[in-house]
Amino acid sequence: MSYLDFLAVHSDRLVDGTLITIAQFVLSALVAVVAALLSGLMKLAPSKPVRAVATVYIEIFRGTSLLVQLYWIFFVLPLFGINLEKFTAGFVTVGLCYGAYGAELVRGAVLSVPKGQWEAALALNMSPARRMWRIILPQALVGMLPPWGNLMVEILKGTALVALISVTDLMFETRQINNNTFLSAQAFGTALIIYYVFSRFLITPLMRWLERVMARKIGRA
């Protein structure tokens, strides 16, 4: 079977799987951003219990395998009465895993904001929350966006593991096609190209654009 014939026969399944992968990536990225912001800022909190909660979350999700986390959330949590549908379990786990890595990026970026900016915001008599939201975070965002670009690519690659809990994403469909046809080069080669195109021509340009926009907004273009 030629490659064009292969695509003609299996294009519908590959497209459906790609759409699920995109959905998994977008939702995982949202979970990761929220988890990273919350836990990163919690690690800077003056309260020891708040810092402890953030530290436990970060250490558990950074120190264990994403695959083990997937199995725990999908197969073990139901034993404790917490049931998540497989699609939800997929993006929640991937998002929480990479959010733990992103938390350290947030913490480091916030601490890198010059001390004078903190003092200026304090002189304006801003509340701590308003000071962080209006003054500190916008400047920290410029510093954290480049490493977040790499993390977004890692999130995309991490979504491939959700196939192991039967989420019908691109990797799941590719494996099914390979099992039925034994055309490994065509099946996995197509998946490789799709992942690369999505990473190289969608995620990377988007993150670079966000870097330029944020730099212009705070006068660092």
**What's the pLDDT at 221?**
41
Q: Map tokens 């219990």 to a residue.
A: 49
Could you give the CA distance from residue 121 to residue 213 in angstroms, rounded to a whole number? 23
**What's the pLDDT at 219?**
64
User: How many degrees, rounded to 5, is the angle at CA 206 between CA 93 and CA 86?
Assistant: 20
pLDDT > 90 in the chain, percent: 68
Could you give the CA distance from residue 128 to residue 214 in angstroms, rounded to a whole number? 22
Region class of 217: left (phi > 0), else alpha (psi between -120 and 50), else beta: alpha
Residues of the chain with pLDDT under 70: 118-119, 121, 219-221
Whether residue 39 contacts residue 58, with contact meaning beta carbons closer than 8 Å, is answered with: yes
Whether residue 40 contacts residue 62, with contact meaning beta carbons closer than 8 Å, is answered with: no
